[in-house]
Structure 1
C-alpha cells in the first residue's frame, strides 16, 4: 500500500538552486538582512549576499573550476560559508561538505573519495585541512582559507578578483549540487548524490509545513555542512527572505543571548539543544517569548522532552520532523498549524512524498488503518527529494533504492489513520550521537588496526544527553593487557570528537552469523 502526503502536491521549479533562491530578489529585499554574524553582529544584506555569491562564482570559474568538478567546503557556521557554498554552486561546481570536527585523516579520506580538486576552510581548522590536503597531493594554492593564512588564497581574494559570474548550462534534475557523506542504513560513509532539483524540491516541500517569512529571525547553530542545516536552515531561510544569525558552535549562554538580542522567532534544533533549553538552569528566567516555532530533527525527540521545552517556550509550537541525507533531508514534519498530532510523532509526509511500510522479515506490505495505529514495519520513501544514489557504489545504491524509486530508511515506524508517523525502532546500525552519524563499521575497522585487538564490534547505547554513545566490545589479542582507557585513547586520537568510543567491554568472542555478520542484536541484549 502506498501512503501519500495528505497535502496536495506542490509545483517544483525546474531551475538551479541559485536561480531558485536569488533570481526573485526584488528591490524591497535588497537591504533586508540575510545573514548576521552572531559573535560580531556584522550584517550581510540580501543584495550584498547575491553580489558576493556572483563574485565568488566568477573567481572560481577563473581558477578553472566548473561543471564536473568537486570542491570541498570545510567550515563551521560563519557568513562566508553561505557565500562560498552558493558561489561554488553558481559556477556549476559540486560541493562536498566536510564536518568541521573532522581530523586530518578524515578530511583526506573524504577529499579522495569525492574526487575533490580543492578545499575551502577557515584558519581554526587549518591543521586538519592541511593534513588532509597533503594526503591527496593538494598544493597550498588548492586550499582556500576564508579568513586568510599565509601562502593560501582567501575569501578577500575571491571577492576582489573582478571576474564576472560565468554562464553555465546544466540540467538541474541530473547535475549534482552537493555530495554530503552518510552511512545510510549500514556500513562506511558514502557520498550521497543530490541534484539541484533535489535541493529545490525539498525547500518547496517543506514550505507548507514550516512557514517562514521576512520577519523571521533564525539562530543558525545546527551546522550548514549537515544536510539539515544546509536545506532547512540555510536554503529555507534564504528562500523565504528570513534572517539567519550564524553561530560557529553551540554555546548555551551565547545561544540564549542571540535569541534575546535578536528576538529570534524560529529555532531549528537537535534534541541535545532542546534538552539544554528545557532543563539547564541558564535557560530559566531568560526572555524567550519571541520564539513561535521550535523544530527538532536529526535524532529521536520524545513527547516528554517536547513538553518540557514547551514549558520554557510558552508562545512556541514545539514540533519535530524526520529525514535522512538521502532525502535532502526532509520527508516528514508536524505542520506548524496542525492540532491533535502528538509531539512524539515525526509528523506527516511532506507534499509530493509517498511512503510504504513493509514487514522487514517477510517484505509484506503493512496497510494504513482506517482507525487506530498500524503494525510496525520498515519505512520506505519516494519523492523528488530522494537522492540519485551513492557515489561510485552501485551495490549500496541497489541495496538502498528499489527499482521503482523507494528508499529504504532502515527505520521501523507505525502510521495512524490520520497519516501521522511514529518511529518505534530501527533496523539500521547507525549510531546517532547528538544528531551526528557514527558508523559502527568505521570504528570497528579502526579498532582492528590496534595490534592488541583481535576482534571488535561497536553498537550505540542510550545516553540521556547525547541520545546514544558508541560502545565497543573488544576481544584482546593473546597476552594483551589492554585497558578500556587504552582503547578509548587509541580511537580518540584518530577520529572527530563525536565518534569517540565512550564505553568499552572486553569479551571472549564477538557473536557472528554463519556468514560472518556481527550479531548486534545479541550485543544489545547484554
Structure 2
C-alpha cells in the first residue's frame, strides 16, 4: 500500500493520496466469533441481544452465545467446517443471527442469499459458491427447494429453521447437543462470508471477505458511529446484505445493543417498533428515510427516542436529510458510503462533526486511503487545499477491502489494482476537509451532447417537489443528442402532477443539458433490498 504521508519531489505533501483524518485503529488478529463474543462478561449475559419484532420474544446475550456454540456443534457433527461453504437464505429473524455466527464459529464460510431470490437465482449462487448445504425458512422454501433441486442438493442438506416436511429443522439439529468444535484458521486469509455483488459492471460475483475484513470494518465504523449498550435498533435492513450484516448485526453485537428484528419493511410495523421499544438508532436505506420524511403515517408519531439516523446503500440528498430531520427533530441525521467489496463501509459522516453536510457521505474511516482518478484520462485528481475537487472515480485501499472475486481472476484484476486500491465505479468529489460527495455511478452517467448528466442529482431535485413521493432517472437513446434524461415519477397520494409540471420544475433549476426530456408516472420505483434503484429494470420497460 502506498504511503499517504509521502512527499513530492519539491517537498510538498502528495495530495493525490487521501487519508482518513482519524488515527488508525488497532485491528486484532482474531476470528469474528472471538471478536464479538469472547469478551462477554457477567454484566452482558442478561442484556437483551435480540427481540423478535412480530412476537416480542427476547434473546439475551448469554442465550445467543450458547445458541451460536450449539449451532457450531450441530453443523460440525454433520461434517462441515473449515473449507466448506453453507448458504443462508432467510429474512431477518433472531435465528438468522445464531446460525450465521454458529457457522462462522465452526469455521464454515457463509454465503448469504437474498430473501427475494427466485429458485433460479438460488441455484446460481449455490453452484457458484460451491455450497454444501442450504439453510432457509418455510416461507422461502419453494425457491430454496427449486434452487437446491437444480444443483442436485439432497433434501437432507436443506435445513428449514422453523421446520418443513422432508427437511431437518434447527430444533432437530440442536437436539444432538454436540459441543462447539475446536477450529484453527488464519483470520487474515480465511473467508468468513461470500456475499454476491455486481461490482462496477457485469453479473453478480462472489465477494471474498475474510474474518479480518469484517472485524476491521466493525472497528472502523464504530470510530465515527459509536453505539452503546443502551441503544435499541430496529433491524429491518436485511442481514443477508453486507450493510445489514456489518453495520447493523455485527456492529450492534460488538457494542451489546438490542436489535429488534423485522422480516420485511412495513411502515406501520416499523413505526410501531420504534415507538413501543423506544428505538434510539435507525440504520436505514433511503427508501425508509423517504417514508419517514414524506409518508402521512409517520406524521404525529412519537419518534422522540431516536438520537441517530444513518442512511447508506444509495445516495441520500441533503434536502431529504433536512426533511427527515423535521420528523426527527432530536436526532442526528447523516449518511455513509460503501460497497460489498469493502465489507462495506469506507466513509461515514462522524456523529460529532456537525460542520460536515449531511449531503456528503462523510470522511474516510480509519485505516483507509483513497485516490480520485479522471475517468476519461486516467490522471490523478488531487485533494484541494481549499474548495472542492473536480469529480473523479473513487479508488480505496484498506484492511476492509476484499481478497477478490471468487473464481474470477479477470474481474478481480479489473477491480483491484496491484497496489491494493479498489475501483468503486462511483464518481465523487472531495473537499479540503476530506468530505466526499458522490456524484453518480460511472456506468450510470447520462451522456447528452457530450455533457455528463448525473441521475442522482436530478433524482435529488425531483424529491424536493411536494407532490413527488419517489423518483428515478435514466438515460434513454436519442438520435440527435446521444441520450436524454428520462424521469420515472411516483406521485404523492392525491397528487395531480403532469409531465409538463415535472419538466418545468426541473428546467427552472438546472443547466439546459440537464433538463428532463421524458416523464413516465409509475406506481413505484423498483429497488433492491438494500434500497438501490434497479435501473436495469427501468431501462427494460
Q: Which TM-score bucket, shorter chain as reference?
A: 0.7 to 0.9
Residue 496 of structure 2 is matched in structure 1 by none
Q: Which of 358, 381, 392 is matched with 1:343 structurally? A: 358
- 1:2 deviates by 0.9
Flag the 1:70–1:351 CA change in 2: closer, same or farther, 3 A: same
Find the counterpart in structure 2 of residue 182 from structure 1: 197
Distance 1:37 1:53, change over 3 A: same
TM-score if structure 1 supplies the norm length?
Answer: 0.84
Q: 2:152 maps to which residue?
A: 137
8 A Cα contact 2:285 2:530, kept in partner: no
CA distance in 1 between counterparts of 2:170 and 2:335 reads 36
Which of 290, 293, 315 is the matching residue for 2:305?
Answer: 290
TM-score by length of 2: 0.82
TM-align CA RMSD: 2.4
Alpha carbons of 1:469 and 1:164: their partners in 2 closer, same or farther (altered >3 Å)? Answer: farther
Of 385, 394, 407, the residue aligned with 1:392 is: 407
1:276 to 263, 266, 291: 291
Distance 1:251 1:471 in 2: 31
Counterpart of 1:149? Answer: 164
Q: Which residue is 1:246 aligned to? A: 261
CA distance 1:306–1:72, change in 2 (3 Å): same
The answer (yes or no) to whether the contact 2:213–2:343 under 8 Å persists in 1 is yes
Q: Is contact 1:101-1:496 (8 Å) kept? A: no
Q: What's 1:79 paired with?
A: 94
Q: Is 2:40 the counterpart of 1:40? A: no
Deviation (angstroms), 1:467: 5.8
Change (3 A) 1:36 1:505: closer
Q: Does the 8 Å contact 1:17/1:197 carry over to 2?
A: yes
Q: CA deviation at 1:235?
A: 0.1
Corresponding residue number in structure 1 for 2:236: 221
Displacement after TM superposition at 1:160 (Å): 2.2
Residue in structure 2 matched with residue 56 of structure 1 by the alignment: 71
Cα distance in structure 2, aligned partners of 1:38 and 1:342: 33
Tell me the equivalent position of 1:230: 245
Q: Does 1:14 align with 2:29?
A: yes
| Residue aligning to 1:448 | none
- The 1:501/1:375 distance shift into structure 2, 3 A limit, reads closer
Deviation at 1:273, TM superposition (A): 0.3
Cα distance between partner residues in 2 of 1:244 and 1:467: 31
- Between the aligned partners of 1:499 and 1:7, the Cα distance in structure 2 is 34
Q: Which residues of structure 2 form unaligned runs of 5+? A: 1-15, 447-454, 464-468, 478-525
Q: Does the CA-based 8 Å contact 2:444-2:474 persist in structure 1? A: no
Q: Is the 8 A contact 1:357 1:367 kept in 2?
A: yes
Deviations 1:394-441 (A, max 9, x none): 00000000000000001111111110000112213599xxxxxxxxxx
Q: Determine the structure 2 residue equivalent to 1:173.
A: 188
The match for 1:106 is: 121
Q: 1:496 to 1:380 in 2, by over 3 A?
A: closer
Q: Per the alignment, in what secondary structure is the counterpart of residue 132 of structure 1?
A: helix
Could you tell me which runs of 5 or more consecutive residues in structure 1 were left unpaired when the two chains were aligned: 432-458, 474-491, 507-526
**Relative to structure 1, is the Cα distance of residues 278 and 127 closer, same or farther in structure 2, using a 3 angstrom cutoff?**
same
* 2:420 matches 1:409: no
Judging changes above 3 Å, is the alpha-carbon distance between structure 1 residues 319 and 503 closer, same or farther for their aligned structure 2 residues? closer
Q: 2:218 aligns with which of 203, 206, 219?
A: 203
Measured after TM superposition, the shift of residue 329 of structure 1 is 0.1
For residues 386 and 121 of structure 1, do their structure 2 counterparts lie closer, same or farther at Cα, with a shift above 3 Å needed? same
1:31–1:46 CA contact under 8 A, matched in 2:
yes
Distance 2:538 2:164 in 1: 39
- Judged with a 3 Å threshold, the aligned counterparts in structure 2 of structure 1 residues 178 and 469 are, in CA distance, closer, same or farther, namely farther
**d(CA) in 1 for partners of 2:540, 2:55:** 46
Give the alignment partner of residue 28 of structure 1, picking from 20, 43, 46. 43
Mapped partners of 1:419, 1:102: distance in 2: 38
Q: Provide the secondary structure at the position in 2 that maps to 1:233.
A: helix
Distance change (3 Å), C-alpha of 1:364 and 1:292: same
CA distance in 1, matches of 2:186, 2:280: 36
Q: Give the distance between the partners of 1:414 and 1:167, measured in 2 at CA.
A: 48
Equivalent residue pairs, number: 460
SS at 1:428 equivalent: helix
Residue 5 of structure 1 corresponds to 20
Change (3 A) 1:87 1:467: farther
Q: Does the 8 A contact of 2:74 with 2:176 survive in 1?
A: yes
Q: Is the 8 A contact 2:241 2:530 kept in 1?
A: no
Instruction: Note the C-alpha offset of 1:36.
Output: 0.4
